[in-house]
A and B are shown apart, each in its own frame.
Chain A
Amino acid sequence: MADKITLEVARYSPEQDGEPRFDRYEVPLIENWMVLDALNYIKDQLDGTVTFRWSCRMGICGSCGMVVNGHERLTCETLLADYLPGPIRVEPLRHFPVMRDLVVDLSDFMEKLERVKPWIIRQPGAPEPSREFIQTPEQLAEYKQYSLCINCVLCYSACPVYGLDPHFIGPAASALSLRYNLDSRDQGAEQRLDVMAQHDGVWDCTVIGECSVVCPKHVDPSLAIQEYKISATKAWFKNLLMPGGGK
């Protein structure tokens, strides 16, 4: 096995208002090292100005998403050796404004996350159990998959619709919304449907499912969006047949 590999790291600093450029760094190729390990090596040993986010280094905090050789990846679980002989091109996620180097501005995503009311909604006066809600393993399985999203936003970077229409609520927020709708403890599906219906983005989403392909936690947001289309259509028909009613 080679003992070195080269990374081409996208660099951009708003203070130096130039065009983004790529800097090349050679790093040792150590067994089991991830792309993130290489970036940390660069930062610690070669160039302290290279800027990126990371924290848990175990694929759960969602900080370290980047585009590696053209594909969205969590860099803490992407092996360097998979890219032999190199070079490896590391770029910031697409469709978000770049703040600096590999760090993108997530404000839009954070706002969308909040918009889908991702919390348990109970109808006014609905009784709260004194102990736990009973939820069978089957009921848990209904929404479990959608609860595994780590908010790494790889799916937004891969989503062609979001790229064209930033108003599109997007894959992760849709999945989260469905996660609560499908939870047997929740009664807020109608409120969330209103949010989802506010923008047409959902309808532009084709079944290509780039979002589900790149999802490192196998959440399948694409399926979530298709399910939304079905429930939205149902609601629409209901309103058509019983104007003002059907609620």
Chain B
Amino acid sequence: MEVTAHDILLIGGGGAGLRAAIAIAEADPRLNLAVVSKVYPMRSHTVSAEGGAAAVIAANDTIDEHAYDTISGSDWLADQDAVEIFVNNVTHEMLRLEHWGCPWSREPDGRIAVRPFGGMKKERTWFAADKTGFHMLHSLFQTSLKYGEIKRYDETFATRLLVDDGVVGGVVAIELATGKIRAIMAKAVILCTGGCGRVFPFTTNANICTGDGMALAFRAGAPLKDMEMVQYHPTGLPQTGILITEATRGEGGWLVNKDGYRYLQDYDLGKPTPTPVFRSMELGPRDRLSQAFVKEMEKGRTLKGPYGDYVHLDLRHLGEKKIDEKLPMVRELCRNYANIDPVHQMIPVRPVVHYMMGGISTDSSGATPLKGLYAAGEAACVSMNGANRLGSNSLGELLVFGARAGTSAAQYASGARRPSDRLLAQAADEERRIEREYLNRNSGRERIAKLREEMQHAMESACGIYRTRQTLEEGAAKLAELKQRFGGITLDDHSRTFNTQLMAALELSGMLEVAESMVHAALWREESRGAHQRTDFPKRDDQKFLAHSIAHRNAEGPPRIESLPVTITRWPPGERVYGR
């Protein structure tokens, strides 16, 4: 086995990973660091983000308002110390990105332009037309090339964290091109592996969003936080789940039911007005909008299509000029994937799994309880998003907490010892395991695609927009069965060269665990808060559940859920008020 060693290893080359890498290179150029990514960094899922990134810059805006919007948006489940760190640093981070060349859209006088976004009381979302994530990721990647000291393992898939005596010392990873299994040692490892939308059947997320980092951490003994908090975005294209950005509504788009009626007015989200009003109607938070869709469907007022019920997103009144200038990608996506032109036709949309508020539990410096292990980005839960993330807060989070995880890992690594040689035996074990359980196996009859599909459908029924004990228990039983059956998988592909089926199998095995943590955390939380709506416990319960769920893995059976109080600094829990 080939063994290499670094001071710090980043797993993930998306927005969070690259920002962390640059922070480390800047903090101490002598540190030897490397980025491991299962796709070329510029292909990471951050590339798909459309709408924008929030940071206070407008003259009439304040940092406290950004904090309040984020906290009330989170239904008071966000840790307020983390939110304060976020709002205090995000503008600086965004300006750095501007200095690194990100092509932000501008006001006529050349200053940064900002647009309204859901749940935000002011215009504070920076955007690069509607390809914000694309431009941020490419700017970060290209800037990272300037730092010769950042070594990369592109198209390399991490399968296991190496841990000795409670201290993380590297990973085992497969180099896709050759199938070579490597031990990559490091004093500190930062997981920036993104979300896990692919646990569900209908998602905006890319194929690579399989929660690998969450599974890596979980298996290594680090807990997962708030995994029950799954965000449904209200506007996905019905057949594919491709996202139609919230910026469409920020620019003035309307959501209408089958009668052309702006139905959100019936769900305590305010009164319809011709132009958008902050924190009202179409600019309400995502959890409330997705829930309103379900209610509207139950009333029989949605439209029926081959890919489920849907409503219409109407942009026609914005006009061709504005659509082409501010939302060109939306037009391109609608034409390519739904065969409609939003300038002349309404867009069919339905709620779609979009984002994981939960993730690897970290403190506000990105450290996990496991020594030497850090996490940032969507893979992590710091937690600033609580029970519902506001649109355009994630891209800023990648920067702020990516950079913080980078600097704290750099500090730690400068004083840490070289990883123990005992880890090499662990790495060799992992190599044998991959060969035995995957590459060299020829028994088994379960097809990966079939198991994956069953898992996805089980998750949709169990852990959808509304949940009950019954659906969750059924989901838990199904997942246990699928884990069992996973032992009997069959692979068609035994090749060492670019074996994507092997990768899919490894991803699935991780997803089954991540899914289990979601279902069990959702069972534990006997209340309704933000994105977690239990029809059997329809009220928020601050007495018992002003707390995070912390899932610990058990060697056998389902995870154990513990509770951790939410950190409240300046904003005591209150009512979430939108549109009034």
Residues of B near A51 (CB, < 8 A) are 493, 498-500
If A139-B110, A140-B106, A183-B101 touch, whether A32 touches B501 (CB-CB below 8 Å) is no
Residues of B near A60 (CB, < 8 A) are 47-48, 131, 134, 329
Among B384-433, those with CB < 8 Å from A are none
A59: interface (CB < 8 Å): yes
B339: interface (CB < 8 Å): yes
Report A188 CB to chain B, min CB distance, Å: 11
Which of A2-10, A41-49, A161-169, A194-202 binds B?
A: A41-49
Residues of B near A13 (CB, < 8 A) are 495, 497
A119: interface (CB < 8 Å): yes
B492: interface (CB < 8 Å): yes
- In contact, B497 and A99 (Cβ under 8 angstroms): yes
Mask, A98-112, CB within 8 Å of B = 1, is 011001011000100
Report A157 CB to chain B, min CB distance, Å: 17
- In contact, A49 and B206 (Cβ under 8 angstroms): no
Residues of B near A113 (CB, < 8 A) are 145
A77: interface (CB < 8 Å): yes
- In contact, A119 and B100 (Cβ under 8 angstroms): yes
Mask, A146-183, CB within 8 Å of B = 1, is 01101100000000000000000000000010001001
A240: interface (CB < 8 Å): no
- In contact, B497 and A143 (Cβ under 8 angstroms): no
- In contact, A118 and B142 (Cβ under 8 angstroms): yes
Interface centre among B44, B154, B500 (most CB of A within 10 A): B500
Partner of B101, one of A63, A106, A119: A119
- In contact, B336 and A59 (Cβ under 8 angstroms): yes
Partner of A140, one of B105, B146, B500: B105
Residues of B near A52 (CB, < 8 A) are 500
- In contact, A55 and B110 (Cβ under 8 angstroms): no
Partner of B111, one of A59, A134, A143: A134
- In contact, A136 and B110 (Cβ under 8 angstroms): yes
A131: interface (CB < 8 Å): yes
Report B503 CB to chain A, min CB distance, Å: 10
Q: How far is the CA of A129 from the CA of B98 in the complex (A)?
A: 11
Report A122 CB to chain B, min CB distance, Å: 9
- In contact, A132 and B47 (Cβ under 8 angstroms): no
B580: interface (CB < 8 Å): no
Report B150 CB to chain A, min CB distance, Å: 11
Of all chain A residues, which has the CB nearest B333? A58
Mask, A41-74, CB within 8 Å of B = 1, is 0011101110111111111111100000000000
Interface centre among B40, B108, B332, B501 (most CB of A within 10 A): B40
Report B21 CB to chain A, min CB distance, Å: 14
Partner of A32, one of B47, B138, B239: B239
- In contact, A49 and B493 (Cβ under 8 angstroms): yes
A23: interface (CB < 8 Å): no
Q: How far is the CA of A139 from the CA of B109 in the complex (A)?
A: 11
If A132-B112, A185-B101 touch, whether A54 touches B449 (CB-CB below 8 Å) is no
- In contact, B100 and A137 (Cβ under 8 angstroms): no
A114: interface (CB < 8 Å): yes
Partner of B242, one of A54, A58, A133, A180: A58
Report B203 CB to chain A, min CB distance, Å: 11
- In contact, A100 and B48 (Cβ under 8 angstroms): no
A84: interface (CB < 8 Å): no
A239: interface (CB < 8 Å): no
Q: How far is the CA of A114 from the CA of B101 in the complex (A)?
A: 16
- In contact, B106 and A48 (Cβ under 8 angstroms): no
If A60-B47, A140-B103, A140-B105 touch, whether A55 touches B39 (CB-CB below 8 Å) is yes
Q: How far is the CA of A103 from the CA of B178 in the complex (A)?
A: 13
Mask, B338-366, CB within 8 Å of A = 1, is 11000000000000000000000000000
Residues of A near B45 (CB, < 8 A) are 55-56, 61
Report B167 CB to chain A, min CB distance, Å: 33
- In contact, A99 and B101 (Cβ under 8 angstroms): no
- In contact, B106 and A136 (Cβ under 8 angstroms): yes
Interface centre among B107, B143, B240, B497 (most CB of A within 10 A): B497
A15: interface (CB < 8 Å): yes
A19: interface (CB < 8 Å): no
B43: interface (CB < 8 Å): yes
Report B206 CB to chain A, min CB distance, Å: 4
Partner of A128, one of B39, B99, B131: B99
Q: How far is the CA of A14 from the CA of B493 in the complex (A)?
A: 14
If A77-B336, A119-B145, A147-B103 touch, whether A55 touches B206 (CB-CB below 8 Å) is yes
Residues of A near B110 (CB, < 8 A) are 134-137, 139
- In contact, B177 and A99 (Cβ under 8 angstroms): yes
A144: interface (CB < 8 Å): yes
Residues of A near B103 (CB, < 8 A) are 140, 143-144, 147, 183
Partner of B495, one of A49, A131, A133: A49
Report A247 CB to chain B, min CB distance, Å: 22
A227: interface (CB < 8 Å): no
Q: How far is the CA of A181 from the CA of B355 in the complex (A)?
A: 37
Of all chain B residues, which has the CB nearest A176? B142
- In contact, A15 and B497 (Cβ under 8 angstroms): yes
A26: interface (CB < 8 Å): no
Of all chain A residues, which has the CB nearest B112? A132
- In contact, A110 and B40 (Cβ under 8 angstroms): yes
Of all chain B residues, which has the CB nearest A114? B145
- In contact, A15 and B106 (Cβ under 8 angstroms): no
B448: interface (CB < 8 Å): yes
Q: How far is the CA of A29 from the CA of B98 in the complex (A)?
A: 45
A190: interface (CB < 8 Å): no
- Residues of chain A having any CB pair with chain B under 8 Å: 13-15, 32, 43-45, 47-49, 51-63, 77, 99-100, 103, 105-106, 110, 113-114, 117-120, 128-129, 131-137, 139-140, 143-144, 147-148, 150-151, 176, 180, 183, 185-186
Q: A32-B240, A51-B493, A150-B47 are in contact. List 13 more A-B contacts (CB 8 A).
A: A44-B448, A45-B449, A49-B493, A51-B500, A52-B500, A57-B206, A61-B45, A61-B48, A100-B495, A110-B40, A119-B146, A148-B131, A151-B40
A-B contact pairs, 13 of them (CB 8 A): A55-B43, A56-B45, A56-B206, A58-B240, A110-B40, A114-B145, A131-B95, A132-B112, A134-B111, A137-B110, A139-B110, A140-B106, A176-B142
- Residues of chain B having any CB pair with chain A under 8 Å: 39-40, 42-45, 47-48, 95, 98-101, 103-112, 131, 134-135, 138, 142-143, 145-146, 154, 177, 206-208, 239-240, 242-243, 329, 332-333, 336-339, 447-449, 491-493, 495-501
The 6 closest A-B pairs by CB, nearest first: A48-B492, A44-B449, A134-B110, A118-B142, A136-B110, A120-B101
